[in-house]
Amino acid sequence: MKIKKYSIPESTVIYKPKSPFIARVISTTALTEAESSDEVRNIILDVSGSGIHYIEGQSIGIIPPGERETGKSHKARLYSIASARTGDDGSSTTATICVKRVYNEDNMAEAKVPGIASNYLCDLKPGDSVALIGPNGRRFLLPDDDSTDLILIAVGTGIAPFRAFIRHIFLEKGFWNGRIRLFYGIKNAMEALFLNDQNDDIGQYMTQETFEAFRALSRVHNEDEEKGYVQHKLAEHKQEVWEMICRGNFAVYICGLKGMEEGVDEVFTTLAKQQGLDWPTMKAKFIKKGQWNTEVY
C-alpha cells in the first residue's frame, strides 16, 4: 500500500507553455556570500490573480524570452518552489525559486557560454515580468502522516524543496512528530543555501526537537572543517538512518544533481548487506510505496 501524501488543491489553475501566466518579480537577493565563486539568487515572484495554489514539493517552469536557432520559443526550465504554500510573506500570492547562474562549456570555442534560463533569471530586477507555467509535480510531496520520519538528502540548489518542507512544517503547520534529518552537500560553507550567514532560513529551525541538519563540504578552507560529500555525512549517521528505515514509517527525498544517487545507494547497499538484505529489492519496494522520492537533474 502506498503512503498517503498531501493532496494538491483541486481549485488550482495550471498554466501551459502556449498560455503562460505573466508573473512579476517582487525581489531578487543573493543566497551565496559575496566571496563565493558561485552566484545563487532567491527570486520571489508575484502570482496574484493567477489562481495558482501550489504545495511543497512542486515546481514551476520559467520560459526565457527570445527564440532558439530553430525559430521556436525557448523551452521552459523547471525550478523547485522554495517557498511553503503561503509564500514567503504569508499572502499565498507569491512563489520563491532559487537559481544558480550557470555557464556551460563550449568545447568548440573553448569558452564558457552563459546558460540561457539561469542568466536571464539572475539578471532580473524587481518589477520585471516573467512567463511562468505550472505548478507541476504530484510525487515529491510530504506524507499526510506527521509521525513519518523524513530523510532529506540534497546537493546544491536541490535544497529548494526542503526549504519549503521545513517552512511549512515549522512555520505554517507548527510541528512534526516524526524525526526530520537533512543531509546537505555543498562546495563550501559560503554556498550552504539557507544555511549560511547570508540566509539562515533553515538553520533557524535547528532548535526544533525533531529536526537536525548536517552539512557536507567538498572544499574546506579551515582546519576545523571536515572534507566530504553528502553520502559521507549520511554514512556518519548510518545507525540512526537505518533504524528509521527499519522502523518502516519513513519517507526519503533526494534532490539535486543526478550523480548524487550513486553515492547514496552505495551507503544503503552496504547497510543492507550487513543485515543479509538486498538493497535494490528493498529500494524498488520503497519506490512503489512512495517512500523513496527523487528529483534529480
Instruction: Please give the DSSP secondary-structure letter assigned to residue 159.
Output: G
C-alpha cell at 53: 495554489
Whole-angstrom distance, CA of residue 116 vs CA of residue 129? 16
| Cis-peptide into 114, omega within 30 deg | no
Distance between first and last Cα of the chain = 28
Burial string for 190-223 (b: 16+ CB within 10 Å, else e) reads bbbbbbbebbebbbebeeeebbebebbbeeeeee
Establish whether 15 is a catalytic residue: no
DSSP string, 237-259: THHHHHHHHHHS-EEEEEEE-TT
Instruction: Please give the DSSP secondary-structure letter assigned to residue 210.
Output: T
Choosing from 54, 118, 205, 255, the catalytic residue is: 255
Establish whether 120 is a catalytic residue: no
Choosing from 79, 120, 205, 253, the catalytic residue is: 79
Whole-angstrom distance, CA of residue 146 vs CA of residue 223? 39
Rg (CA), the chain: 19
Establish whether 297 is a catalytic residue: yes
Choosing from 59, 80, 83, 118, the catalytic residue is: 80
CB 94 within 8 A of CB 47: yes
Burial string for 35-55 (b: 16+ CB within 10 Å, else e) reads ebebbbbbbbbbbeebebebb
Residues with a catalytic annotation lie at: 79-80, 255, 295, 297
